[in-house]
Structures are given as structure tokens and as C-alpha cells.
Amino acid sequence: MPELPEVETVKNGLARLLPGLVFTSIDYDWPKSFPNAASDVEAFLVGASVVEVKRRAKVLLIELSSKYSLVIHLKMTGQLVYRGEQNFGAGHPNDSLVGKLPDKSTRTIFEFTNGAKLFFNDQRKFGWIKLIPTAEVPNIDFFKKVGPEPLAADFTWQDLQGRLARRPNTSIKAAILDQSVIAGIGNIYADESLWAAKIHPATLVKNVSASKIKALHLAIHEVLELSIASGGSTDRNYVDAEGNKGSYLKFAKVFRRVGLPCPRCGTTIIKTKVAGRGTHICPKCQRLTK
DNA sequence: CACTTGACCTGTCCGC
DNA sequence: TGCGGACAGGTCAAGT
């Protein structure tokens, strides 16, 4: 589910809601979703307060006063939904969704001294939460190899070109989905960015010209920024930290638009498979060059 | 080594 | 309606 814009939106919500709150308890039913031992929870979570909420790539970081952090990956279907006085109560519009929690996909529940709760829901059980020392966060395997943030001011198109050059014989789509090349892009924004840059997703990286890479760099910026401004994409079950859906798919040009006209040339959008993933393209705008 | 394919899970949708 | 298979926004391990 969540790619960079969705995780950024969840982060922004949690950063408004959580700092200062103190954990009282945690409840979990699926060990893979929260692998820490109960002794870790007692020592480093219960009684600790939230200091700061951050995002790196598609990972959420909740820094605690205990010098430990909750490191969270939502993977395909993870949700992190807060329920407090702000968004819960008789007649509140969100009660239809937030009020039903916990539900059958709730894996972990965090409770705070003010009575608020944070629900980690994950239908497919791919996501995880780990409680680890804040100082060790940069050393986890994922962060050791993850690539740069695409929206960082100092991430230039030449940087993208240089990192793509490490994967010359794979498709451009597989390359930008590779989190060690560039962080945060998933299937939706890969398809949207490649359409905007007029690149066929199956084009081998070595056959993508410098001018196309420059266009792709710009496209990634524009697509991700529009999505963040829209609160992300809700295709199936993504919601933000207060249970609200994102509206980016209203602006999507190819993703989930099979059979509809390309907004640029009118050609019918088709769906194919590239890099093992469902892939949406305009067959006229995005030509496969050898 | 570079690259691709399965596995991890549950739920939904589509064709027979 | 029921049933089987394909598919779903991510990442690893294992395979070629």
C-alpha cells in the first residue's frame, strides 16, 4: 500500500497527534507484526513519551524519551490510526471508520495515559513494528542500503543518473522500484512518473537517454509532491493517521485507468506486466526503445 | 555478481 | 451461489 506520499501523510498526522503522549500499554496478537519481547516493552516503551515522529523512505520512526524508537513499515496493507478526543466521539464523521477499531485486521494496539489509542491494522500481515535503540536505527539492514530521498533539495538529476548506472541491464521500472537506487517509489508512482517522462517501463536502463533521466527526475518530484498535497492515494485500504482516505488517484494519469484515454494523446491506456508488477502505460506516448 | 522469481498473508474479484 | 485462480500499493531470500 503505502509509498512515500502515504507514509509522509501518516507521519504528518502522527507528528501533530503524538508528541508528549505517554505509553501505558501495548496489546498484540501477531508476533511477526511486533517481534519484541515483553521485557523490552516494559523497559523501554511503557512510561516513555513520544519525542518526535519522522519518516525515512517508506519507514516511520517514532522516537521515545527512553532513547528507543518504534520503527514501522506498513508494507502493502498497513494502517496506523489514532483515536483520541480529536477524531472520535458521538456524531463525529469519522466514527464510521475509527469507531469500529479494533477490527479483525488489528495486529497491535498502543494505549496512552490520556486514554487515546493507536491502532496498527494490517490485513496481509506483511508490515512490522520494531522497538530498537534510537542510536541503532541507521544500522538496520534496510537503512544501511537505502537510497536518497527523492524530494531532498540536493538530490539532482545527475545523482539519479549515477545511481541508475549501477543497474544498466534491468528495466527502468525495476530500477526505480529498487529502494537502494532511490527511496520511496512504489508501483503507483513508478507508473505515473514514467508516463510523465514518456518512458516505457520495460526500457533497459542503459538505453534511457540523459534527457529522459532528467525528465524522469522532474516527473518524480511533481508526482510525489502532488500526491502529498492530496493526502496520498487510496486504492484499496490506505488511510491516514486519523482514518481519512487520500485523493491522489483522482489526478492519476495511467494507474488504474485501463481502457480510458491517455490524458495527453487520447490513446487507450493498457495494462501489462513489467518487473513482475502490474504496469499501466500509454502505448503511444511510452515507446519501447532498444 | 546482476538480475529475476517466489514467498510472506488475507481478501476480493472475475470467469466458469 | 460456489469454486478456483489471479491479483493487490513491498521487500527479502533463494534461484538462475
Q: Which tens digits make up the pLDDT trace of A167-211? A: 999 999 999 999 999 999 999 999 999 999 999 999 999 999 999
Same-fold call for A4-145 versus A157-281: no
Active-site pick, A54, A130, A214, A277:
A277
Span A17-63, pLDDT tens digits? 999 999 999 998 888 899 999 999 999 999 999 999 999 999 999 99
Q: Is the CB of A234 under 7 A from strand C?
A: yes
Q: Is the CB of A105 under 7 A from strand B?
A: yes
Q: Looking at per-residue confidence, does A88 or A73 come out higher? A: A73
* Mean pLDDT score of chain A: 95
- A4-145 CATH, one of 3.40.50.620, 3.40.190.10, 3.30.230.10, 3.20.190.10: 3.20.190.10
pLDDT band per the 50, 70, 90 thresholds, residue A156:
very high
Span A74-133, pLDDT tens digits? 999 999 999 997 777 655 656 667 889 999 999 999 999 999 999 999 999 999 999 999
Q: What pLDDT, on a 0 to 100 scale, did the predictor assign at position A88? A: 72
Strands of A30-105, DSSP E: 50-56, 59-64, 68-73, 78-83
The answer to whether residue A277 is catalytic is yes
Q: Give domain limits for chain A.
A: 4-145, 157-281
Find and list the nucleotides of strand B having atoms within 7 Å of a protein beta carbon.
2-6, 8-11
Cα–Cα distance for residue pair A220/A212, rounded to 1 Å: 12
Asked if residue A23 lies in contact with residue A65, where contact means CB atoms within 8 angstroms, the answer is: no
In the predicted structure, residue A157 carries a pLDDT above the cut 70: yes
Q: Is A157-281 in CATH node 3.30.2130.30?
A: no
Q: Tell me the C-alpha to C-alpha distance, in Å, between residue A55 and each of A44, A77, A263.
A: 21, 18, 33
**pTM, whole model, 2 decimals?**
0.97
Q: What pLDDT, on a 0 to 100 scale, did the predictor assign at position A97? A: 78
User: Which one-letter DSSP state was computed for residue A99?
Assistant: T
Distance, CA of A276 to C1' of B4, in Å: 9
